[in-house]
């Protein structure tokens, strides 16, 4: 084998080779599996291309395993897949493609291995390993994908303009591979992307967002995000983020470039978490700044309320990008709206009341919020960063102390609305809400202890102010 495989992978490839030999059908493992093996990256799937019917080969391979795995196949596309333990194998017949200008769905007809390799997106994804006879295990690399892999280059087998016009999603894939692998996009390939950015409009939003999320989950997302911006793709797929770019100066006073600040925050948070939604919170934490930017004479640039405006923008952005409209969106919105609170606590004498309110509002997401706020400290002045982080650690200590003492995180009120209604024979309404809010505020302000007896006493006091009589 010209690639290093595990014993299990070699076992699977031998099974496929024997099944293909029975059918007298040349077959090859191609694309990402070959690339990742040459890069010593782990992989859980493999693509098999055969000169013949991929569905027939998949069924024949499945027969060689006990218990026999089920075969998922799609006659329209001529593809099939089987799963062996956690390893997924997809089968397809070699093909050649032709495209119409207004669609990324090609007209497909059977082809040779060479034609199949020619239709691949990049040279590093066009390499194949033969599973046939005397050539078993040999690398077939017509476009020097191995050389590009060794030199860290993303390059197209065909003319870039044709590759990206045919299937514009490949522009995002080029940037995603550059971000994931730390590779450079070859000059002509980069020019092909920049010339074809408008073509991205024929791609479904779901596919665009899938690639964006993969870029966001790379080790250093700023690489891919910056390429999206400089190519012009970001202007089409995520214009609100482009609005962050640039710095304006009046009377010699300017503000930082909030686009590149955001990229730094995303990189910072990515050093500590692989959570996609926490990374999204980093992307969107300052998204409200362009709408709130003002120049105040004698003071400079301000972005008052950008966290509130940004929070309101989150649902619209999630809708446009076809991101989930569920708890994930609410989580991101909460972090965007709260991201200034911990930092503001470093600039004042921290009261227990302020700490309780932050714990109450953040709930279980307090640790993620603190991580986001730490990532948001991006000054180039090392002494400034050191001072901020030291103050920030004091806030962390106080959060821990107050939580240990008062247990406000995920706090449930000792007196519920139902208990108030029952105590005074009240229907749901304003009075119930006012008594309940008074109890909550008193606990958060430290005026009463966080227990039933203290809350009950305040309930009776507030009820008397409203001339309410206990139910008989």
Residues 6+ away with beta carbon under 8 Å from 236: 197, 198, 200, 201
Mean pLDDT of 372-380: 86
Mean pLDDT of 304-326: 96
From the list 224, 218, 220, 256, the residue with the least C-alpha distance to 238 is 224
% of the chain residues with pLDDT over 90: 64
Question: Does residue 233 have a pLDDT over 80?
Answer: yes
CB 152 within 8 A of CB 39: no
Residues 6+ away with beta carbon under 8 Å from 380: none
DSSP string covering 428-465: SSHHHHHHHHHHHHHHHTTSS-SSHHHHHHHHHHHHHH
Structurally, at CATH architecture level, domain 153-237 sits in Orthogonal Bundle (1.10)
> How does pLDDT run across 129-185, given as a tens digit for each residue?
999 999 999 999 999 999 999 999 999 999 999 899 889 999 999 999 999 999 999
CB-side exposure of 203: number of CA atoms within 13 Å? 27
Question: Does residue 246 have a pLDDT over 90?
Answer: no
Residue spans in the chain of domains classed CATH 3.30.460.10:
7-151
DSSP string covering 314-354: HHHHHHHTT---SHHHHHHHHHHHHTTHHHHHTTS---HHH
Predicted TM-score (pTM) of the model is: 0.86
Residue spans in the chain of domains classed CATH 1.10.110.30:
153-237
Mean pLDDT of 187-205: 96
Taking the C-alpha atoms of 443, 448, 454 and 458 in order, what is their torsion angle to the nearest 10 degrees?
-80
Q: How confident is the model at residue 249 (pLDDT cuts 50, 70, 90)?
A: confident
Pairing mode, if any, of strands 153-154 and 184-185? parallel
Q: Quick one: pLDDT at residue 413? A: 77
Residues 6+ away with beta carbon under 8 Å from 229: 235, 241, 242, 245, 259
Say what angle helices 258-270 and 366-375 make with each other, to 10 degrees: 130
Write the class of the CATH domain 7-151: alpha beta
Element at 390 (helix H, strand E) = helix 382-406
Locus of tokens 């050539």: 135
List beta partners, residue 48.
29, 91
The first and second tokens of residue 269, run together, are 């948070």
CB 420 within 8 A of CB 432: yes
pLDDT top residue among 344 and 27: 27
CA pair distance 30, 95, nearest whole angstrom: 13
> How does pLDDT run across 87-141, given as a tens digit for each residue?
999 999 998 766 566 665 666 678 899 999 998 999 999 999 999 999 999 999 9
């Amino acid at each position: 084998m010209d690639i290093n495989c595990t014993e299990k992978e070699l076992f699977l490839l031998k099974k496929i080779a024997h099944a293909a030999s029975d059918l007298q059908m040349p077959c090859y493992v191609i694309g990402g599996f070959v690339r990742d093996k040459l890069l010593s990256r782990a992989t859980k799937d493999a693509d098999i291309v055969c000169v013949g019917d991929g569905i027939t080969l998949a069924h024949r391979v499945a027969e060689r395993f006990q218990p026999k795995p089920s075969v998922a196949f799609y006659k329209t596309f001529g593809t099939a897949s089987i799963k062996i333990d956690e390893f997924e194998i997809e089968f397809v017949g070699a093909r050649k493609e032709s495209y119409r200008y207004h669609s990324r769905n090609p007209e497909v007809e059977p082809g040779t291995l060479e034609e199949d390799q020619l239709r691949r997106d990049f040279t590093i994804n066009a390499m194949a390993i033969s599973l046939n006879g005397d050539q078993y295990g040999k690398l077939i690399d017509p476009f020097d994908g191995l050389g590009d892999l060794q030199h860290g280059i993303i390059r197209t087998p065909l003319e870039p303009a044709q590759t990206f016009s045919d299937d514009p999603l490949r522009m995002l894939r080029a940037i995603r591979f550059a971000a994931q692998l730390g590779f450079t996009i070859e000059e002509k390939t980069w020019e092909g992307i920049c010339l074809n950015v408008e073509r991205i409009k024929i791609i479904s939003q779901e596919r665009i967002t899938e690639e964006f999320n993969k870029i966001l989950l790379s080790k250093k997302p700023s690489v891919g995000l910056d390429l999206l911006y400089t190519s012009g793709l970001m202007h089409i797929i995520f214009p609100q983020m482009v609005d962050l770019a640039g710095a304006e100066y009046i009377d010699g006073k300017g503000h930082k470039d909030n686009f590149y600040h955001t990229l730094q925050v995303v990189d910072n948070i990515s050093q500590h978490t692989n959570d996609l939604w926490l990374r999204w919170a980093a992307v969107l934490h300052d998204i409200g700044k362009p709408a709130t930017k003002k120049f105040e004479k004698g003071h400079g640039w301000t972005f008052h309320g950008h966290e509130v405006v940004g929070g309101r923008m989150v649902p619209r952005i999630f809708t446009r990008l076809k991101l989930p409209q569920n708890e994930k969106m609410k989580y991101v919105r909460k972090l965007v709206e709260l991201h200034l609170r911990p930092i503001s606590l470093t600039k004042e004498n921290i009261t227990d009341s302020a700490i309780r309110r932050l714990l109450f509002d953040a709930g279980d997401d307090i640790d993620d919020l603190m991580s986001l706020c730490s990532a948001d400290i991006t000054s180039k002045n090392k002494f400034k960063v050191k001072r901020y982080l030291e103050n920030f650690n004091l806030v962390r200590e106080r959060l821990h102390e107050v939580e240990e003492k008062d247990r406000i995180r995920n706090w449930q009120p000792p007196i519920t609305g139902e208990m108030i209604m029952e105590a005074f024979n009240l229907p749901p309404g304003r009075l119930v809400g006012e008594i309940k809010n008074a109890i909550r505020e008193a606990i958060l302000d430290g005026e009463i202890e966080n227990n039933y007896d203290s809350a009950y006493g305040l309930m009776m006091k507030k009820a008397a102010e409203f001339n309410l009589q206990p139910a008989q």
